[in-house]
Amino acid sequence: MRFNFCTLFPHRFSAKHSAIATKSNNRSVFAKIGACAFSAFIAASITACSGINDSWEVKGGGFIKYSINDGEEITQELDRDDVEIPYIRNQHHYIKITIPMDRSERKDQLSVAVYSPKLGKNSIVPSLTWIQVEGTPKALIKGEDNYITFDQKDDTKWSATLNLHFEDCRQGACIDSLPPILFKGRMHYWIAEDDR
């Protein structure tokens, strides 16, 4: 006489199949978690690569940190075209650094240039050097103690310290009797890969 094992011991049969089903479900859950984790890893990698491709080292640009009369330090991002490096997309032998007013939260604007820049201390070009502080009239360079000190200048990056004195035009007009305003800055600029 044959007995049906499943009929005689239904609790064992259902427990056994339940355990198999649980293992199967667990595998399915782990497979889904693994797939999600892998997708997240790929997405993070793509984002990281995108971040690298958008960096100053690739697309060019940098920043300048500066203060007016030793006040609050301001950080201004520099786009690729805000710094003209000699003979990089141009035919001139001077470096020109600009802060465009339309990108400055304070409405500051700066233009400063150095002919034939070298490592160390450099004199500025007075005719190409001026500032507007918070949208006030253009202030020209003043005095003799105005210079830019380059500590790096190669085909990848230029770094410099700026020490400049300008007329004080912050009252809506330039007042010669007022002491000059002091602009101190530190610039870091990377040359775009396409320009090297």
Domain ranges of the chain: 5-53, 59-195
Model confidence over 103-134: pLDDT tens digits? 999 999 999 999 999 999 999 999 999 999 99
- What does the pLDDT read at residue 195? 83
Is 44 exposed, middle or buried (CB count within 10 Å of its CB: 0-12, 13-18, 19+)? exposed
Q: What CATH class is the domain 59-195? A: mainly beta
Interatomic CA distance for residues 70 and 76, integer angstroms: 16
Instruction: Give the chain's mean pLDDT.
Output: 83
Q: Convert 19-40 to b/e letters by CB count within 10 Å (16 or more is b).
A: eeeeeeeeeeeeeeeeeeeeee
Contact 125, 113 (CB under 8 A): yes
Look up the pTM and report it: 0.72
Contact 78, 192 (CB under 8 A): no
- Phi and psi dihedrals of 54, rounded to 5? -90, 0
- What does the pLDDT read at residue 3? 46
Residues of the chain where predicted confidence (pLDDT) is lower than 50: 1-3, 5-16, 20-21, 45-50, 52
Element (H, E) at 67: strand 61-68
Which amino acid, 1? Answer: M
